[in-house]
Structure 1
């Protein structure tokens, strides 16, 4: 059985029932009297019942109207309660979205960008919570393109038509060496000089390894590695333990217990920047944190 009446029809019925007048009901609902009359007639046709006895002096509810009143009031109250609940939930979810900023980030730029940006972000009164999704550059790109993260911080990834990359700085490749190593006292070293030392390289397929391999191929300078590792922290632990030297982005070295010297011939740098999803609307907190990161550069 189809239902061919709506909430407006029930509101018109209750207004006539409570005021005892089509004219008064029309004023209460801010409608014309003819509009109220049409709604009552519609209800009567759908319910196949006469709801009001109309005379020149009064409008009297029938037994059918008295039976309908409680049901109509219950239906409208349920509708109002549903509307209130949905609005309350929408406000709550909007608050949560504004209160939490999700950033996908490669761990090596935390010290260089995220930490100083957070200090500036909080200093001007922002209180949003920060959810960090730390992972590889590919994982950062996936989190941004899928909408899991509000934005990302990473080296330039493979171009995705759904994302846009904003360069922030070039992160030079340097050589992390043990503090007591002979190279620790040399300010600069060429790649060719690394053939005689145990070399710790990033794993194949990582962004840093692709940069190194591409530069070495152009220079026609093969590298022989002693250790190949998946994580920068593992490379730094090996260097600190005296097991070898590791070419790493400068921002990745941070405050590690190692010495650093520049590498040239050829010089290598990775562009690091903000990765955002095209067409995404930003909360004020997201925009403010981006600005704080730009200022930290």
Structure 2
């Protein structure tokens, strides 16, 4: 039984005729007659007797009428509940985030989200960007905030922030004494960088590979804050986001090379976003570059 057919049946029963029912439903009389005929065919029962100009429910019609009214009321309540979903957002949201974004981009977003949607149970974990992508891919997290690499279905990446990268070293490092530098100069000194499997490491490595230059690594680590400390004590030069720079580091004037990365949101295209995820995504866009 279709709701449209039931609505036509109730209208005819309540108004005692097809013309009045058609007027109420904003349909033509033939359209109402067709719906009643289709309903009778589906139920294999005659629902109305036509007595001259009068239309009266049969015994089957009387039996169906209260149930049809209840079905239509239930459908209306369900539609209203769906329309009101976003008015009271609750549930849970599993979010995974890179350490850097969590420290430097996420705090104002989390603060505002908590104020707007206190009923949402937020499960937040911090992982490297590449691991974060795997969490979304395998359905263990609904959203990820990370450095963006090449995204292939079923993952979809949305850029939120442009993140310039700078060549840096301690003020006492030999490279910091130069007024101008090229990648050739950096290739003769060891570097400390994120692990080779990270998107950021690949950005730096590709810049050297394009110029046929070696990249000498003193060590690698997952954490940018640790890299910053190692570079600030003069152990090696490095590449860090502008948001991490302070007086402990000096930006190296490397000519002809500008490095940057994109930060953003990763979601699974095959997953229907929860109300909480939709609200969080909408809020993120207000804080994007």
- State the TM-score, normalized to the length of structure 1: 0.57
Report the Cα offset of residue 271 of structure 1: 1.9
Distance in 2, Cα, partners of 1:224 & 1:23: 85
Aligned partner of residue 246 in structure 1, secondary structure: coil
Aligned partner of residue 14 in structure 1, secondary structure: helix
**Is 2:261 the partner of 1:272?**
yes
Q: Deviations over 1:53-96 (max 9, x none)?
A: 3323633333332222222222222222232233333x459x78
- Tell me if structure 2 keeps the 8 A contact 1:208–1:248: no
Matched with 1:174 is: 168
Distance in 2, Cα, partners of 1:58 & 1:174: 91
Written as runs of structure 1 = structure 2, the 5 A alignment for 1:205-284 is 205-206=197-198, 209-210=201-202, 211=204, 215=208, 223=216, 225=218, 227-237=219-229, 245-251=235-241, 254=244, 259-263=248-252, 270-273=259-262
Matched with 1:12 is: 8
- Tell me if structure 2 keeps the 8 A contact 1:202–1:231: yes
Written as runs of structure 1 = structure 2, the 5 A alignment for 1:149-168 is 149=143, 157=149, 168=162
Report the Cα offset of residue 11 of structure 1: 2.3
- Tell me if structure 2 keeps the 8 A contact 1:104–1:143: no
Matched with 1:22 is: 18
- Tell me if structure 1 keeps the 8 A contact 2:17–2:54: yes
Written as runs of structure 1 = structure 2, the 5 A alignment for 1:56-205 is 56=52, 58-89=54-85, 91-92=86-87, 107=100, 111=104, 114=105, 136=128, 138=130, 149=143, 157=149, 168=162, 170-176=164-170, 183=172, 187-188=176-177, 191=186, 202-205=194-197
- Tell me if structure 1 keeps the 8 A contact 2:169–2:252: yes
Aligned partner of residue 168 in structure 2, secondary structure: strand
- State the TM-score, normalized to the length of structure 2: 0.58
Question: How well do the aligned residues superpose, as a CA RMSD in angstroms?
Answer: 5.3
Greater CA radius of gyration, 1 or 2? 1
- Tell me if structure 2 keeps the 8 A contact 1:20–1:59: yes
Counterparts in 2 of 1:25 and 1:104: CA distance versus 1, 3 Å: same
Q: How many equivalent residue pairs?
A: 257
User: Which stretches in structure 2 are left out of the alignment for 5+ residues?
Assistant: 179-184, 270-277
- Tell me if structure 2 keeps the 8 A contact 1:109–1:251: no
User: Which stretches in structure 1 are left out of the alignment for 5+ residues?
Assistant: 178-182
- Tell me if structure 2 keeps the 8 A contact 1:52–1:60: yes
Q: Deviations over 1:10-68 (max 9, x none)?
A: 22322232222333323222333344344444444444444333323633333332222
* Larger helix proportion of the pair: 1
Matched with 2:273 is: none
